[in-house]
Amino acid sequence: PRSTHSSIHPQRRRASEGGTTSWHLSNYQLVAQSSRYGSLWPLPQKVQLSDVSFKLTTSSFRIVDAKESSAGPSCKHLTFLNFSCHCVIFSTSTFVLWATSFEGNEYELTVNQPFAVLKAPKVWGALHGLETFSQLVYKDEFGTKNINQTTISDFPRFAHRGILLDSSRHFLPIKVILANLETMAMNKFNVFHWHIVDDQSFPYLSRTFPQLSQKGAYHPYTHVYTPADVKMVIEFARLRGIRVVPEYDTPGHTQSWGKGQADLLTPCYAGSKPSGAFGPVNPILNTTYDFMTQFFKEISTVFPDAYIHLGGDEVDFTCWKSNPDIQKFMEQQGFGQDYSKLESFYIQKLLNIVSTTNKGYMIWQEVFDNGVKLKPDTVVHVWIGGATDEEMHKVTGAGYTTILSAPWYLDYISYGQDWQKYYKVEPLSFNGTEEQKKLVIGGEACLWGEYVDATNLTPRLWPRASAVAERLWSAKDVTDISDAFNRLSAHRCRMVERDIPAEPLFSSYCPHEYKGV
């Protein structure tokens, strides 16, 4: 396609808000040009291109495990791939069943004729390398698949590259979750943060406490995740090198828990009588901690990841304050009127319970902000906008591993190319020492579900999340927004071609438009 000018400034046609339009020379057309890096996304650390091109045919493509490879035909990962150009020889030196938390995403890819060689220390790196390989293949004007002689040496800048989905505000059918995992893999995301329950609904079918979903889900049969469903998600993710980190957020965000577990939540009082409403988890009852012990024992066996996210955000103290038993307890404990001390009291006990399951935990930043005593390997999740740099400085200053989400709340939408603002975020831009910055292990793009369900999840999340993907994988100095636009446009069309309805960046077209409607 021919384009006249490459300016990223969007052509503002008719604006209803604000009263005036911005005038643009109608010459400013924005159709993506080709980048010298083709459609690689995220951009690998080291790419050596050449103009020498080789043709590929489907009939003589082979995947072969190299002799030195310790991953053989039994490695399930390598046989399920559904590329149309599945021909790579590779070797890996170790074979690992489960992705360990942070290692093994690097790979080396050399494309030559008649062999391409993909080397990776772990099978997860090999998966990333295969995705990159598929991105190097392009069609020439005769329709022939080509690939250029290339050498790539790649590894992620950050080890934790996640997407948060919320299946409580709206139930997300399994298919949607699986399709999203597929798209994540195409973008080299490696953590699925499953915010599975919250105030509105409890779709997780617990085998220890089946009443939780029986009473707390939107519908006890059609809007639940059975153990089989959960297993499917975990295995599907595993085959794509994606960890599944579940979040069971307490003590706030728990309205739906109380429907199937009487006495779990605090009864609120209006004056001297219960008002009928309930608040956060009741921190003063022993039954609460008995429940949590049994519940998290189950969770720790269902989800194989080394970490569980325990939430701990946005606890509203009003209900606690109104409850006379709690007031008495506060007195007894000497907390005075400081309810954040009560919150800490609860979280502390919860963290101790979870520790006994041998899992590490992630918590939202409030838990840190309120001075709770945390284990050294706690991961603190920074989400509050406004003073993010300060928070990062504080959290890393206190020695905690940190992940960043504050600038990447993708559930907030706006008119225009907002992917650029996600792309421009620099996670390490805060004041801190080298040691501090090393504690930032990555970040997550969050798609909270108040306004999201199966009808709009994919277009809303993609390709905006791709901007986050590159920011977390590629080198710090990959900031050329014009080149990013060109590559991302091509990458987005590729997602559409793979049947993923990723929304457009700007006025343009894809050779293969989305047909699904």
In the complex, which residues of this chain contact another protein (CB under 8 A)? 1, 4, 11, 13-21, 23-27, 29, 31, 411-415, 450-451, 504, 507-509, 511, 513-515, 517
Annotated catalytic residue 503: no
Helices (H), 109-210: 123-136, 174-186
Least distance between another protein and beta carbon 412 (Å): 4
Least distance between another protein and beta carbon 385 (Å): 12
Q: Please answer whether residues 334 and 345 qualify as being in contact, where contact means their C-beta atoms are separated by less than 8 angstroms.
A: no
* DSSP designation for 409: B
Q: Which is nearer to another protein, 24 or 321 (CB)?
A: 24
Q: Please answer whether residues 8 and 30 qualify as being in contact, where contact means their C-beta atoms are separated by less than 8 angstroms.
A: yes
For residue 502, what are its two tokens? 């990723």
Least distance between another protein and beta carbon 411 (Å): 7
Q: Which is nearer to another protein, 19 or 114 (CB)?
A: 19
Tokens 């080299």 found at: 188
The C-alpha atoms of residue 427 and residue 407 are separated, in whole angstroms, by 9
Residue 345: phi and psi, rounded to 5, are: -55, -45
Q: Which is nearer to another protein, 55 or 219 (CB)?
A: 219
Q: What is the 3-state secondary structure (H, E, C) of 187-249?
A: CCCCEEEEECCCCCCCCECCCCCCHHHHHHCCCCCCCCECHHHHHHHHHHHHCCCCEEEEEEE
Which residues have C-beta within 8 Å of that of residue 402, sequence separation ≥ 6? Answer: 379, 380, 381, 382, 392, 395, 396, 439, 440, 441
Q: Which residues pair with 446 in a beta bridge?
A: 164, 409
Q: Which is nearer to another protein, 232 or 510 (CB)?
A: 510
Neighbours of 61 (CB within 10 A): 14
The C-alpha atoms of residue 268 and residue 332 are separated, in whole angstroms, by 20
Classified as helix, coil or strand, 440 is: strand
Classified as helix, coil or strand, 260 is: helix
Identify whether 459 is preceded by a cis peptide bond (ω within 30 of 0). no
Strand arrangement of the beta sheet that strand 53-56 belongs to: 53-56, 145-148, 138-139
Neighbours of 45 (CB within 10 A): 16
Query: Which phi-psi region, left, alpha or beta, contains residue 426 (left: φ > 0; alpha: ψ -120 to 50)?
Result: beta
Size of the chain in residues: 517
Considering 103, 314, 435, 513, which one is annotated as catalytic? Answer: 314
Which residues have C-beta within 8 Å of that of residue 29, sequence separation ≥ 6? Answer: 3, 4, 5, 11, 507
Q: Which is nearer to another protein, 287 or 507 (CB)?
A: 507
For 458-493, give one letter per residue: b (16+ CB within 10 A) or e: bebbbbbbbbbbbbbbbeeebeeeebbbbbbbbbbb
Active site residues: 314
